[in-house]
Amino acid sequence: MKKFFYYLSGLLLACGPGRDFEDKNIFGSQTVGSTSVSIASTSTTGDESPAWPQENIGFGIEKTIPDFVFWNGFAEGPLSSPKEVQLTTRDWYDPTGNFGINAILVITAKYQCSSCAEEAKGLNETIKSWQSQKRKIKVVTLLINSDTNGLPDITSALTWKIQYEQSLSCVGIDPQKTFASTSSFSTPLNTIIDPRTMKVVDASEGYTKDYSKLEELENGNK
C-alpha cells in the first residue's frame, strides 16, 4: 500500500571535438505519461530505511537528488535474460556504505550521438576494471530518445543494453531529460552523485574518457 501511494503521488507530480550537440528541446512540451520519470519526495521512509536528506533538493551540482524518482529500464545482469525494473534513486542511497555503493555515475545519452556510442562501447570494460580494483561504482545510462529520434520506450532501453553489452550497468529511459539543467546541452552528460548524501558533485558534457572525479569520490567514500 505504501509503495502504491508513492507511485500514485509520482503520477500526479507529473561534444567540443567529437561531441554531439542538441540545439533545442526535441520533446517540447509533450506529455510522456508514467513511462518517463516520476517523483514523490518524503522525509520519512519507515523503519527499514534511513531518512532521505532534504536540503537543497534538485538535479544540478550541489543539489540533493529527490527521493523516490524512478525510470523504466533494465537492471544489471546477463544479457540473455534482461530484467525489466523501475530504476529508482532509493536504490542508490547508501549513507553508511553498507550496500556497497561508493559513487554513482548517471549517463544521459541519445541514439544519434557518436560520443555516447563511443562511451557505451567501452563502458562494460571500464566497469570490469573498477571491479578488479575493488571500486564500488553504480552506473546508470538514461536514454532521452529512440533510434528514430522519437520518445524512448522500454524497447529503446533493451536495444541499447544489448547492442552495447551493458551487463554490468543499468539502462533506462528518460524522455524528460531529468539531469539536464537546460533544454540545450551536449551528450553524453555524465552526472556524478555521492551515495552518502545524494548530492550531485559534478556534471560534465561530452565523453572525455576522464573518470578521475568519479574515482576520487569513490576513494573518499571507502
pLDDT of residue 25: 30
Q: For residue 45, what pLDDT band results from cuts at 50, 70 and 90?
A: very low
| 3-class secondary-structure state, position 2 | helix
The residue-averaged pLDDT of 29-52 equals 49
Which tens digit of pLDDT belongs to each residue from 153-174?
Answer: 999 999 999 999 999 999 999 9
Share of the chain above pLDDT 90, in %: 75
pLDDT of residue 101: 98
Q: For residue 182, what pLDDT band results from cuts at 50, 70 and 90?
A: confident
- Lowest model confidence (mean pLDDT) among 30-39, 52-61, 104-113: 30-39
**Residue 112: closest CA among 5, 28, 186, 11:** 186
Residues ≥6 apart with Cβ < 8 Å to 42: 6, 52, 67, 68
Contact indicator for 186, 20 with CB cutoff of 8 Å: yes
Residues ≥6 apart with Cβ < 8 Å to 35: 72, 153, 154, 173, 175
CA distance 93 to 52: 8
Q: For residue 114, what pLDDT band results from cuts at 50, 70 and 90?
A: very high
Domains and CATH numbers, the chain: 2-220 (3.40.30.10)
DSSP, residue by residue, 162-197: HHTT-TTSEEEE-TT-TT-SSSS-EESEEEEEETTT
User: Does the pTM exceed 0.85?
Assistant: no
Look up residue 138 and give its DSSP letter.
Answer: E
Q: Is the pLDDT at 126 greater than 80, yes or no?
A: yes
Q: Which residues of 51-87 are buried (b: 16+ CB within 10 A; e: fewer)?
A: ebbeeeeebeeebbbbbbbbbbbbbbeeeeebeebeb
CA distance 217 to 46: 28
More confident residue, 47 or 135: 135
